[in-house]
Amino acid sequence: MSDTNFDLVKVSKTIEGASDEIPPLERWNPTFCGDIDMRIARDGRWFYMGTPIGRPAMVKLFSKVLWMEEGKYFLKTPVEKVGIEVEDAPFLFISVEQKEGNKGTELIFKSVTDDVVTVGAEHKLWVEQCPETGEPSPYIHVRFGMKGLLHRNVFYELVDKAQEVIRAGETTLVVTSQGIEFALGSFR
């Protein structure tokens, strides 16, 4: 990590007055100030200088100014941009709700940082397999090219809701949201 003059409290106060909406990060072009010792673990916990950030409200604030460029993650304000580390995905989804909407059945996910995402054309759901273990890692597109990992219990809940469809001689588990089918995995 580079040495910067990053002040966690100052930055949190800068973004604290903002609304619950995601700010227009795509329009901000601040100066890159270097990397800081902040990390988002695979389990969704945020760390600063090796210590977990214990205030959920602060984590929620930081998640709103999270930005990705060329595969790297940043916290971005109108005046500065600092690099952070993300182990896997910056968002962790901990619940799913199934509702009827304008486009039929909708799967609505909620993250640890209170992001609410409805899977569909704008927010795809996909599953990647670990090459070594074959273990599935289910993801959702969230925003600005960033993805969110589904908690294992949420994935099991999806599997329970899935329909079995035969494709190319294999049984595929499929869920539907906003009229679009998303495959969770296949087996013979």
pLDDT, tens digit, 9 for 90 and up, residues 103-121:
899 999 999 999 999 999 9
Residues of the chain with CATH 2.30.270.10: 91-187
Residues of the chain with CATH 3.10.540.10: 8-86
Q: Which residues make Cβ contacts (< 8 Å) with residue 107, sequence separation at least 6? A: 96, 97, 98, 118, 119, 125, 158, 161, 175, 177
Instruction: For strands 104-111 and 125-129, give the pairing.
Output: unpaired
d(CA 47, CA 73): 14
d(CA 166, CA 147): 28
pLDDT of amino acid 1: 44
Q: Does domain 91-187 have CATH number 3.40.50.1580?
A: no
CATH number, domain 8-86, options 3.10.50.40, 3.20.20.70, 3.40.50.150, 3.10.540.10: 3.10.540.10
Per-residue pLDDT at 42 exceeds 80? yes
What tokens were used for 121? Answer: 């054309």
The pTM of this model reads 0.88
